[in-house]
Amino acid sequence: MNNTIRLFVLGQSIWYDNIQRSLLKNGQFAEMITRGEIRGVTSNPSIFKNAITKSQDYDGSLQKINQLGLSPEAVFFDLAVEDIQEAADLFLPLYEQSQAGDGYVSLEVSPFLADDAEATLIQAKELWQRVNRSNLMIKIPATKAGLPAITEAIAAGINVNVTLIFSLERYAEVMDAYLKGLENRAEAGLPLDHIASVASFFVSRVDTNVDAKLQKLVEAGSVQAQNTEGLFGKAAIANARLAYKAYQEVFTSERFLKLKAQGARVQRPLWASTSTKNPKYRDVIYVEELIGPDTVNTVPPNTLLAFLDHGQIRPSLEEDLEGAQKTLDALQELGISMKDVTYQLEIEGVAAFADAFKVLLQAIETRLADGV
């Protein structure tokens, strides 16, 4: 039994934060599914940028599409839909065997729409119809504009992966948006039992940001510097564990239990951004420290390989919740506001995906102009 299967025994599913056409075509994806290493796939603009610009996997499709005179963005979604459909078909047996618990493949709406609720919803519906797979999830960012789009997408029967969640406050709004969507759907007399959603709560970037602020205090030699000891590399896990506590409270509430009686599923927390950015930290820390029931961890290739090789497994997610709160309180006393940190990370996250998308579209435009 490999480590990811052991995780599943404890209630956590590993999804793969990577997609590339060669992996779909050469059988690697299928083999990873068969071995029980991955139970779903997530994608984002950065992942597709690397897949399309750093390989020749897509040349054949680009040559065919080049005759149609499409915009670079339309070309991208043609390529992405092909990959997502193929990945969804590979995962379909797992989706069916798990009774729609796993086997999902995620495709993100354009990051250019992050502040436009109406356009986000329109594109979510278009992609849902184009891909036409029951095990698809449409990724919608947890921006202020994204929240009403999430509610409306859920109400329309679309599976949603809510992405770019950093703060506990925004996470509460995401769970509320999901429940509102289910409530709207129930009021319309529509079934709830086939609706699935995950809430992608980003982890390692929090430590990167907070650690940099702590280091500045140390370097400044301030009176506060001595109080930074023991706080490096602690904020992200503390933040995520408190998010899980919030999840437990919401999905055992009377509000949700009414929906559950009608077939509704919980919106599982999905730990995202779980590769280790600081080489001083254990390379699987953001997997090992966040293991618990009804959760997903989406991991990039190197983190998956590391965890399969030497990951240590224990039900860690609910450990020392009091200590988690104390960590965030200690940071606040040092002048490091998690509200400010997570707001900055949301802005940066949206911008990073938009920048990656711009680079991708420019690369597609260049290749089409050159005749591929």
Tens of pLDDT, residues 145-184: 999 999 999 999 999 999 999 999 999 999 999 999 999 9
**Overall average pLDDT of the 4-27 stretch:** 95
**Overall average pLDDT of the 269-283 stretch:** 96
- Quick one: tokens of 24? 């779909």
Angle between helices 338-369 and 72-97 (to 10 degrees): 120
pLDDT in the model for residue 70:
87
Q: Read off the DSSP letter of residue 187.
A: H
Band the pLDDT of 264: cuts 50, 70, 90: very high
Is pLDDT at 38 greater than 70 in this prediction?
A: yes
Question: Do residues 142 and 164 touch, judged by C-beta distance below 8 A?
Answer: yes
Mean pLDDT of the chain: 95
pLDDT in the model for residue 204:
97
Q: Which CATH number fits domain 3-204+264-313+344-369: 3.40.50.620, 3.40.50.11810, 3.20.20.70, 1.20.1300.10?
A: 3.20.20.70
- Quick one: tokens of 253? 């509430």
Band the pLDDT of 112: cuts 50, 70, 90: very high
C-alpha–C-alpha distance, residues 336 and 329, integer Å: 9
Is pLDDT at 30 greater than 90 in this prediction?
A: yes
**Overall average pLDDT of the 223-240 stretch:** 88
Is pLDDT at 343 greater than 70 in this prediction?
A: yes
**Overall average pLDDT of the 70-96 stretch:** 95
Is the model more confident about 123 or about 223?
123
Give me the active site residues, please: 139
pTM for the model stands at 0.96
Is pLDDT at 223 greater than 70 in this prediction?
A: no
% of the chain surpassing 70 pLDDT: 99
Band the pLDDT of 294: cuts 50, 70, 90: very high
pLDDT in the model for residue 160:
98
**Rounded to 5 degrees, what angle do the CA atoms 106, 107, 111 make?**
130
Q: Give kind and range of the element (H or E) at residue 236.
A: helix 235-250
pLDDT in the model for residue 372:
64
